């Protein structure tokens, strides 16, 4: 497995697990039966941190749709360089930071973490065309 595919796998795992804490909060706030009911505008709101983590998770899913194909295209082309490996690792750690600072409610750092992840995607895109 290439380093890029390893970072993709870790990113998929992270994205796949981000929902667990906010669902646990939902169970605590609304009870087990209430958390399994259909959503309603009358539902008791979740904790602020859980609401922010929900949005961080949604953002992670939206960005995985970009990151995964970039990694798979690089792999299909047989491109694996120190630059692409670092870009993939940077993307993963930027997503970890994004989820953490978003959950903590730190807006400027959240934006910076997102931007670092986006820049890593740009590097991968350029590598596909031999420009990085």
- Which pLDDT tens digit goes with each residue over 72-109? 999 999 999 999 999 999 999 999 999 999 999 999 99
Model confidence at 44: pLDDT above 80: yes
Per DSSP, the chain holds a count of helices (H) and strands (E) of 5, 0
Residues 6 or more apart in contact with residue 77 via CB below 8 angstroms? 128
pTM above 0.85?
A: yes
Domains along the chain with CATH numbers: 3-128 (1.20.120.550)
Residues 6 or more apart in contact with residue 66 via CB below 8 angstroms? 121
What pLDDT score was predicted for residue 39?
Answer: 86
**Rounded average pLDDT over 30-56:** 94
**Distance, CA of 35 to CA of 21 (rounded, Å):** 13
pLDDT grade for 5, boundaries at 50, 70 and 90 = very high
């Amino acid at each position: 497995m290439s380093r890029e595919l390893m970072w993709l796998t870790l990113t998929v795992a992270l994205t796949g697990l981000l929902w667990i804490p906010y669902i646990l909060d939902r169970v605590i706030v609304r009870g087990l039966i209430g958390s399994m009911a259909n959503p309603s505008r009358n539902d008791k709101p979740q904790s602020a941190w859980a609401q922010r983590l929900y949005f961080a998770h949604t953002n992670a899913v939206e960005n995985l749709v970009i990151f995964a194909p970039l990694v798979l295209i690089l792999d299909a082309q047989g491109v694996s360089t120190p630059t692409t490996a670092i870009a993939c690792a940077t993307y993963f750690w930027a997503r970890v930071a994004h989820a953490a600072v978003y959950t903590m409610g730190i807006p400027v750092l959240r934006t910076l973490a997102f931007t670092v992840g986006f820049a890593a995607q740009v590097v991968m895109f350029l590598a596909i065309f031999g420009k990085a």
